[in-house]
Structure 1
């Protein structure tokens, strides 16, 4: 995936009165770290690793194994093992792509979708953080996060 360069040379310098991009990246990194700590703890309560939980969350729709590797930022060979373990637990299944039989799509089963619901319900720190926002704040956060990487929100 090609990276779009930042239009200014110094990412640590504020843009006028705005926050410097590095400050925003730091804040986003801390928020993401907190989310993933919470996700890992909730997933562990259900006998899943962080990577397995992340994969299940991504499977809102069937996805080719190569696409999963891209979304999880890992080598395609790692996806096979993750899918094998989730399939053995009945949380995902593999299906041949209707238009290209060389491609295997991974699909969350009903049990997999229920596991995601339970994991999210157990993410207490993240739920508490969202509860500190009013409805307008949650809508704004949703909209802003969607703007950060719009190609990944579809």
Structure 2
């Protein structure tokens, strides 16, 4: 693997860092408006997509399963999440959003304007190209593959 340190590459790295920092800042602020930590908001957002085993949540967040257990405990105490057996393997517990949890996740997602507003200024083709480049950088390939 060849690493590049030319001025253009360095500028792109700096811009990616700035985007990430601004996204995290807005995400933390939006989470706080819903009396959630950033980690709680991220877990709730993941669960709003589909009920998920705790181990998979930990993998996605790149943290220890014990950390996820604490987050789920706090979300469950607020009535935003519930634990239920996995129909495919009753030994596994799934974390799933309650109706209140899904509603909170939707309000949280709707309050994130940082990326949505600038992306609206790009054409469909530009957004598709950006998406595909980001997927490629993450080793995920493109939708067409």
Same fold (TM over 0.5): yes
Query: Aligned-residue CA RMSD in angstroms?
Result: 2.4
Moved over 4 A (4+): none
Deviations along 1:3-33, whole A, 9 cap, x unmatched? xxxx12xx2334xxx943x554433232122
Secondary structure of 1:12's match?
Answer: coil
List alignment gaps of at least 5 residues for structure 2: none
Inter-partner Cα distance in structure 2 for 1:25 and 1:108: 36
1:55 aligns with 2:47: no
1:25-44 → structure 2 map (5 Å cutoff): 25-44=13-32
Return the match for 1:13 from 5, 27, 36.
5
CA contact (8 A) 1:52 1:86 kept: yes
TM-score, reference length from structure 1: 0.77
Shift of 1:113: 2.0
The SS at the match of 2:115 is helix
Aligned equivalent of 1:122: 111
Matches within 5 A, 1:27-106: 27-59=15-47, 60-106=49-95
Report SS of the residue matched to 1:102: strand
How many aligned positions are there?
140
